[in-house]
Amino acid sequence: MTSIAAEHLASKTPIVLDCDPGVDDAMAILYGLRAPEVEIVALGTVWGNIDVDTATVNAVRLLEIGGRPDIPVAKGAGRQLIGTEPTFAELIHGPAGTGSTILPPPSGQHTGEHAVTQMIRLAYERPGELTLVAIGPLTNLGIALATDPGIATRYKEVVIMGGAFLWPGNITPVAEANIWHDPEAARIVLEAPWPVTLVPLDVTEQAQVTGEMLDQLRDTNTPAGTHLHLISYIYLSAYEARFARREAAMHDGLALAIAVDPTLVQEAPLTRVDIELNGAHTRGMTVADLRPIPNLERANARVVLKAEGNRFVRRWFNVLASWD
C-alpha cells in the first residue's frame, strides 16, 4: 500500500450515507461500520432497490448487525420527482431487499426525522466537515437542494455511485439505475455548486465480490459475515445468469471506499456531465464531455473512469473477515 493510501486510511472520514439497501448497499454499510477509516455519522434512506419503508427497516437492521444501533437512520423519499409510480429491483435484491431471505424486523426504529431534514441539519451543524455519499437514487439530494441550496457550500464533497460513460447501462442500454430512477433529481444535483465525484459502472463493475468470499465470510460466524452470505444468493445468481461466473459488482462499496481513500482512483477527469431527460431511448443517460479537449467552462463533476477495484475488494474482504 502506498504511503498516501496509508495516510487516508489512518484518519476517519465522516460520512452521511444516502442509501437504498439493497444487497450491495448492505455490503457497503457493513464495511463502513467496520473500516477504521470510515465514520458513518448518519444514514438516510431512499426508494430504489426496494420501497423506502423496507429500505429503512433494512438500514436499521444493518446497524444492529454491525453493533451500531446508535447511528441515526432517517427515512426519505418514496418515489421519483417526476413520472409514474416507482419501480423497484426485486429480481436483483429480493422482494424485501434482503435477497431470498425474509428477516424479522429489527428491534430499533428510524428517528422520525426526514432524510432531507437530516441532510440539511447536518450540513449546518458540521459545515465543511462531512462527505455526502449517495448510493441510491438522488431524490433526497434533489429535494434537499431545492429546500436549502445552501447545503451545497456546507458539504465537503459529494460522492455518488451513479452513471455509465464508456460502459453500457444496467437499466437501459445507456442508463445506470441510480440516475435512471430519478434523472430530474440527478440534474439538480449536478447543477449545484458542490464538488461532485461520480463513481459509475465503468469502475464499479470491476469491483466484484465472489461467491467464495461470501462463503468464507459466512464461515467467520460473525453477524456481518452470516448476514451478507444470507442475503446475497439472488444478487450473485442474477450476475451468474448474465456473466456465467458467481461474482457480483459491489457498486456501492467502491463509491464509499473512494470517498474515504481517493488513492483508489486512477483516472477521473473533471468535465461537464449532463443528464438526458427527454430521449425516448436515452432518458437517464449520463452524458459527459470526454473529448480530448473538453469544454471545461461548465465542468460540474469528476468522473471516475479507472479505479483499483480489486484493491478495494481485497480490503473489503479483509476488513469484514477480521470482524471479531
Give the active site residues.
251
In angstroms, give the least distance from the CB of 49 to Ca ion: 6
User: x/- site string to ligand RIB, residues 148 to 167, per CB under 6 A?
Assistant: -------------x------
For position 13 contacting ligand RIB by CB under 6 A, the verdict is no
For position 178 contacting ligand RIB by CB under 6 A, the verdict is yes
Site for ligand RIB in 212-271 (CB under 6 A): 251-252
Q: Measured between alpha carbons, how far is 15 from 284 in angstroms, rounded to an integer?
A: 26
Q: Measured between alpha carbons, how far is 167 from 200 in angstroms, rounded to an integer?
A: 9
Q: How many CA atoms lie within 13 A of 37 on its CB side?
A: 17
Which phi and psi angles does 202 have, rounded to 5°?
A: -50, -35
Q: Measured between alpha carbons, how far is 46 from 147 in angstroms, rounded to an integer?
A: 17
- Cα dihedral angle (48, 53, 55, 60), rounded to 10 degrees? 160
In angstroms, give the least distance from the CB of 1 to ligand RIB: 27
Give whichever of 22 and 211 is closer to ligand RIB, judged by the CB atom. 22
Q: Measured between alpha carbons, how far is 115 from 219 in angstroms, rounded to an integer?
A: 35
For position 320 contacting ligand RIB by CB under 6 A, the verdict is no
| Dihedral of alpha carbons 116, 109, 316, 129, sign | positive
User: x/- site string to Ca ion, residues 132 to 161, per CB under 5 A?
Assistant: ---xx-------------------------
Residue with cell 416507482: 86
Report what 170 binds from ligand RIB, Ca ion, none; CB cut-off 5-8 Å by kind.
ligand RIB
For position 22 contacting Ca ion by CB under 5 A, the verdict is yes
Task: Please give the grid coordinates belonging to residue 34.
Answer: 467496520
For position 22 contacting ligand RIB by CB under 6 A, the verdict is yes
Residue nearest to ligand RIB (CB): 177
By the criterion CB under 6 A, which residues form the site for ligand RIB? 20, 22, 24-25, 48-49, 135-136, 161, 170, 176-178, 251-252
